[in-house]
A = this chain, B = another copy of it.
Amino acid sequence: MSVKTQHAATGVRRPRNPQGQGGRLRADLIAAADRILAGTGDIGGLSLRAVAREVGIATPSIYLHFPDKSALVHAVLDARFAELGAAVRAAVSAADGPVDQLRAGCLAYCRFAIDQPNAYRVLFGRAPRSAPSIDAAPGSSLGASTFDLLVQAVAVCIRADAAPEGDPLRIAMSVWTALHGIVSLRASLPDFPWPPLDQQVADVLDGLVRLRHNSAETKEP
């Protein structure tokens, strides 16, 4: 039996899906490509052959579900953008009050990026025009909706008098770029003596949003 067609992890060929369930392979392909990208962070280095090996199928079977390589990559990016948005939304929902909600959302964004640096790099670390395998910026609407969340959180803080007057869009841009800087430089230079993430995020919010800390709600009981 050829080694080429065996599953990468188990050495066993993946069983064939029953009729009507061929679509399952599509999800498995996206998941496998996502796992590989999470290990390398390099879209250009992703190969259909590696994806097929990971899933345990023959490479041409991918073409039953995606017209070409870039379609598979787009599907992976869409899924990851949705996941990032869900993580931020969940953190915001779990917090109380404008300031804590803003902070929780920013921290969730950074944690997603730091826990999965390669996945984050795949989403935000490429030059859209010059990337060889990607023709257009995918998932931009999903990314934009997550950014809208930040603009709204800043606006709520200002309306609640937790931050001084200012343009929420402009402030949110500053915050987003600063958060992106925090997480992407940490990924690029892991040996640099970075301060704790909470402190860096707090510095950014204090400096750029100028949050007013509500002394009535400090953690002292």
Main secondary structure of the interface of A (DSSP, over half): helix
Q: Is the CB of B40 within 8 A of A130?
A: yes
Output the residue of A44, A131, A177, A189 with the most chain B CB within 10 A.
A177
Judge whether A101 is part of the interface by a CB distance below 8 angstroms. no
A109-148 to B contact mask, C-beta < 8 Å, 1/0: 0000000011001001111111110000100100000000
A126: contacting residue among B174, B180, B188, CB under 8 A = B188
Judge whether A170 is part of the interface by a CB distance below 8 angstroms. yes
> In the complex, A67→B150 CA distance in Å?
49
Contacts of A41 on B, CB cut-off 8 Å? Answer: 127, 130
> In the complex, A173→B124 CA distance in Å?
21
Using CB atoms and an 8 Å cutoff, list the residues of chain A in contact with chain B: 39-42, 44-45, 117-118, 121, 124-132, 137, 140, 170, 173-174, 176-182, 184-185, 187-191, 194-195, 200, 203-204, 207-208, 210
Q: List 29 A-B contacts (CB under 8 A).
A: A39-B130, A40-B130, A40-B132, A41-B127, A42-B130, A42-B131, A44-B44, A44-B45, A124-B184, A124-B188, A125-B125, A125-B184, A126-B188, A128-B188, A128-B189, A128-B190, A137-B189, A173-B194, A173-B195, A174-B178, A174-B204, A174-B207, A176-B181, A177-B200, A178-B204, A180-B181, A180-B185, A181-B182, A208-B208
